[in-house]
Each structure stands twice: as C-alpha cells, then as structure tokens.
C-alpha cells in the first residue's frame, strides 16, 4: 500500500432527499476524491474532524482507502475473521468459475465456523455452515439483501462471535485455524483432498490480509506443520474389471426409463475415459459412429456441474473449455465398437436436443449428478455382490474413467497416447492412473509362473 501527505478536505454537503436529509463528507488523497455519507450532521462533522486532526498531526493517508493510517490500524484491530473472509471471496469472485466459487465458499465456511470466541460454537453447526455458504460467502446472495429468515440467527451469531483477524498472529490461534481445515463444521474428519482445499483457502485469505496491511506476516509459518504427503494415485479398490463394468451397464438398463436414458452416458465414461462433465457436453456433431468397427469422439467443451447460484448467467452447468485445454482446442478419443453400439442405440431411441446434445433428462433438461448418481447407486446394488457393493468398488461414476485409463495402460498402449486420450500430462497420468484393474494381480502371477516354467519337485543335482 502507498501513502501520502497530499490531502485536501472540503466542507460538508447536505442533500435533501424525499424522506430525509443526508450529509456528505468529501476529501481527496493524492488527487483521488473520496466521499462518505452520514445520516446526521453531527456524525458527518465528527468524521470530518477526525480527518482534519490526522492531517494536522502530520499523518500519512493511504491512497487506496483514503484514510489516515491511524484509522486504518484501528479498523484492522476491530476487523473480524468473518468480515475479512467475505472481503476475500468478493475479491476472488470475478476471477473464479462457478465450481471454484462454491469450493472456496465451502472452505471458508468450515474455517469460519471454527474461528469463534464461543467454546461450544453455534447450537446448530450445519445451519451455520449453510448460512455461510449460501448467503455470506455467495456474493450475489449477500449483496441482494439481508439473509433469509432461516439464516438470520446464524448470521447474527457469527457477526458477534467471530474472532478478530489480528489474533491470528498468536501462534495458538494460528494453530487452531490450521486445525479447522481438517474437520467439517460438525467435527467429522475430512478427506485429505478436501482438507487441502481448506488449507489453500486459509492461506489465500491470510495472504490477502497481508496484502491489505491487516497482518504483518503469515502466522502459519511460525507454527510446526507436518509436511503433507500428496496422495495422487487412484485407489485400486475403486477400479472395476471389464466384466464388472458390463454388468453395471446392464443393471443401469434394468432400472426403468431413467436408467435406460443413462446407459450410453455411463458407457461413454467407461469406454472413452471421459469425465462426466465432458460427456454431458457431447453433441451429435462430435461423434463419428460407423455401423461396424471403431468410432471416434471429437469434442471441444465440458459442462461440469457448479449450481446456478454460483454462475454469472444462472446456468447450473455452463459450457467451458476442456480441462487443461485452451478455448477451442479439441480432444480426440477412440470409441470402442461396444461404445459405438451404445451411442447409436441411444440416438435411435432418444435423438438429440435442438442444439445437438445427447444426454438430457425426460424433460429435456441437462442431467445432474444428483440424478445419475442415484441411478448409479441402485445399479451397484443390482450388479455387484453384497460385499462388493459395501466396498469402494465403482463407488462413483467417475471411477469408470479410472477403469478406462487403467485398462488402456494394462493393454500396452503407450503412456503418451493414453495421456492424450485422457486429457492429462504423461507425468500426471503415470503418477495417478497407472494402476492395475480389479483382478489383474492373479493374471500377473500367472504370467510370472509361465515365465519361470514348471515347478521341479526333485532336489537339484550336487557337484
């Protein structure tokens, strides 16, 4: 931040409105004009007097805020974590996509629920969490008016009990803030990937506080934090083999009309290794589907679900460039003959929307994770054994993508080619997806046995 002695302060300007008169204080700092309006003349005079006193004392004025440094320090000392967190997400809002906005809001909400001066916290932690996510840390919702009635008590409580931002300089408070990134609002331990997002949000908010002059340093650097081991490999327990994948697709088809509409959707994830958002964005023009043999998918966009509350245009699944690709750059993936058959059947049965999209619900609206996730859970119960259904095997539709990439690698396809199909760098591919599919261990043992030859019972001859 920069500061200056170049300050001019004008008189108070009254404004007579239809219902009441307000009073405006106007001043300039380094040629930049600032204004502040008050409801009474006394308040306006008091504020103007503070500016004049600071100027007479030879204080420097901040060129961005327009205030004397003493006022900025006083404001910083009163600023709460909650207030700063709302300013931080407002600053980040424009540069983030819908899904990233929601993730940041959820991370800040988790941390904010913990950074309070009440040992027992709010009586209904989940209500507080939802109030923060869906109102306080959702810029359009907060700026459009007061919180909904169901969130009023929670917001009023956090405004009273959020800790002062400056107390983060205390190592004990910094340690508590760090610990808040490991547990949900109700105390449930978080997965490592989720905790990582929370820590990034905490670090980002702290760096912004330093940028604004509210903190002198990063307090997390003064506490002992264990080095995080980044887990990037796919858990092999989630990966299905081809027989299991086909059984799951068959089970989806058995679940009525809603299931039949999604067979080709899940088949595309499995046989082509696409992300669900990429499948949602597929159009008829992206497909080459011959009557026999291999086809090809050539696609340019993805439609990941973020929710209408987090996008600028109100769309729940806005179209965007492919992950790790520039706008307009396409990715080409081969379509196995079985996938070609699934897609041709889907087109023959359901056709497309007017703009060429393949996968919509019965009302013509884009399919959401909630709808296809529920079908997938039912299909697992039908296709898998009781033990498998209770395990992590194919726990999410996304796990079909892991199975596809693992199958390509185990089939001997070169890593650069698989990386191109999957939309990854070779480095990320090998560190993340190079896992054997379910049941591959036994095949590997058999290959080793064949290489070693038959077992010899008798003792080897001695010399």
DSSP conformation letters of 161-216: HBPBGGGGGSHHHHHHHHHGGGB-TTSPBPPHHHHHHHHHHHHHHHHHHHHHTS-S
Q: How far is CA 287 from the centre of its chain?
A: 30
Q: What was the pLDDT predicted at 298?
A: 84
Phi then psi for residue 357, to 5 deg, are: -70, 145
Q: Please, what sign has the CA dihedral across residues 189, 192, 194, 195?
A: positive
Q: What was the pLDDT predicted at 458?
A: 53
Give the CB-side neighbour count of residue 334, counting CA atoms within 13 A: 12
Q: Please, what sign has the CA dihedral across residues 57, 63, 66, 69?
A: negative
Q: What's the CA gap between 65 and 72, in Å, rounded?
A: 8
Rg (the chain; Cα; Å): 30
Indicate the burial class of 388 (C-beta count within 10 angstroms; 0-12, 13-18, 19 or more): middle
Q: How far is CA 73 from CA 161, 273, 443, in A?
A: 21, 54, 68
Report whether 272 contacts 339 (CB < 8 A).
Answer: yes
Q: What was the pLDDT predicted at 325?
A: 46
- Which two structure tokens, joined as six digits, stand for 6? 């170049």
Q: How far is CA 309 from CA 142, 157, 336, in A?
A: 12, 24, 38
Task: Give strand pairing partners of 301.
Answer: 321
User: Is CATH 1.10.3720.10 correct for 238-443?
Assistant: no
Tell which residue, 258, 272, 263, has the closest CA to residue 420.
272
DSSP state of 357: B
Q: What was the pLDDT predicted at 26?
A: 95
Domain boundary assignment for the chain = 3-74, 81-222, 238-443
- Which two structure tokens, joined as six digits, stand for 294? 């291999």
Q: How far is CA 354 from the centre of its chain?
A: 31
Report whether 247 contacts 253 (CB < 8 A).
Answer: no
Angle at which helix 415-422 crosses helix 399-410, to 10 degrees, equals 160
Q: What was the pLDDT predicted at 435?
A: 54
Report whether 332 contacts 273 (CB < 8 A).
Answer: no
Q: What's the CA gap between 293 and 337, in Å, rounded?
A: 5
pTM of the model: 0.59
Instruction: Map residue 301 onto helix, strand or coil.
Output: strand
Phi then psi for residue 296, to 5 deg, are: -155, 140
Q: Which residues of the chain have pLDDT under 50?
A: 231, 304-305, 320-326, 437-438
- Which two structure tokens, joined as six digits, stand for 24? 């405006």
Q: What's the CA gap between 331 and 324, in Å, rounded?
A: 11
End-to-end CA distance of the chain: 86
Q: What is the dihedral of CA 313, 314, 319, 321, to 10 degrees?
A: 60
Task: Give strand pairing partners of 320.
Answer: 302
Q: What was the pLDDT predicted at 346?
A: 96
Place of tokens 């009557």: 291
């Amino acid at each position: 931040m920069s500061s200056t002695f170049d300050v001019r302060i004008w008189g108070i300007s009254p404004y007579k409105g239809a219902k009441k008169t307000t009073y405006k204080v106007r001043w300039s700092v380094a040629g930049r004009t600032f204004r502040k309006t008050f409801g009474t003349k006394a308040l306006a005079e008091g504020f103007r007097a503070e500016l004049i006193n600071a100027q007479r004392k030879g204080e420097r004025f901040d060129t961005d805020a327009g205030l004397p440094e003493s006022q900025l320090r006083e404001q910083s000392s009163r600023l709460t974590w909650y207030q700063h967190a709302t300013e931080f997400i407002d600053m980040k809002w424009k540069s983030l996509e819908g899904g990233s906005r929601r993730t940041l809001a959820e991370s800040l909400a988790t941390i904010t629920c913990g950074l309070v001066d009440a040992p027992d916290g709010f009586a209904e932690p989940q209500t507080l969490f939802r109030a923060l996510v869906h109102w306080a840390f959702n810029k359009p919702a907060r700026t459009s008016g007061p919180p909904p009635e169901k969130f009023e008590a929670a917001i009023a409580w956090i405004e009273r009990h959020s800790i002062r931002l400056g107390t983060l300089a205390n190592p004990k408070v910094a340690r508590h803030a760090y610990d808040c990134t490991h547990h949900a609002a109700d105390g449930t331990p978080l997965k490592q990937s989720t905790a990582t997002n929370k820590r990034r949000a905490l670090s980002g908010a702290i760096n912004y506080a330093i940028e604004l002059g509210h903190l002198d340093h990063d307090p997390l650097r003064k506490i002992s934090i264990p080095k995080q081991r980044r887990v990037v490999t796919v858990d092999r327990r989630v990966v299905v083999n081809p027989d299991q994948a086909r059984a799951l697709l068959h089970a989806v088809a058995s679940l009525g009309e809603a299931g039949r509409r999604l067979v080709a959707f899940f088949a595309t994830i499995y046989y082509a290794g696409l992300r669900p958002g990429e499948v949602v964005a597929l159009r008829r023009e992206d497909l080459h589907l011959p009557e026999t043999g291999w086809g090809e998918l050539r696609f340019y966009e993805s439609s990941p679900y973020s929710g209408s509350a987090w996008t600028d245009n109100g769309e729940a699944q806005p179209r965007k460039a492919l992950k790790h690709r520039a706008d307009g750059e396409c990715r080409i993936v081969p379509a196995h003959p079985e996938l070609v058959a699934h897609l041709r059947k889907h087109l023959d049965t359901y056709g497309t929307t007017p703009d060429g999209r393949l996968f919509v619900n019965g009302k013509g609206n884009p399919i959401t994770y909630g709808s296809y996730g529920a079908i997938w859970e039912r299909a697992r119960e039908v296709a898998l054994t009781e033990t498998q259904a209770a395990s992590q095997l194919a726990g999410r539709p996304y796990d079909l993508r892991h199975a596809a990439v693992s199958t390509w690698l185990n089939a001997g396809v070169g890593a650069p080619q698989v990386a191109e199909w999957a939309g990854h760098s070779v480095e990320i591919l090998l560190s993340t997806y190079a896992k054997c599919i379910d049941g591959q261990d036994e095949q590997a043992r058999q290959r080793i046995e064949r290489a070693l030859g038959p077992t010899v019972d008798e003792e080897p001859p001695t010399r």
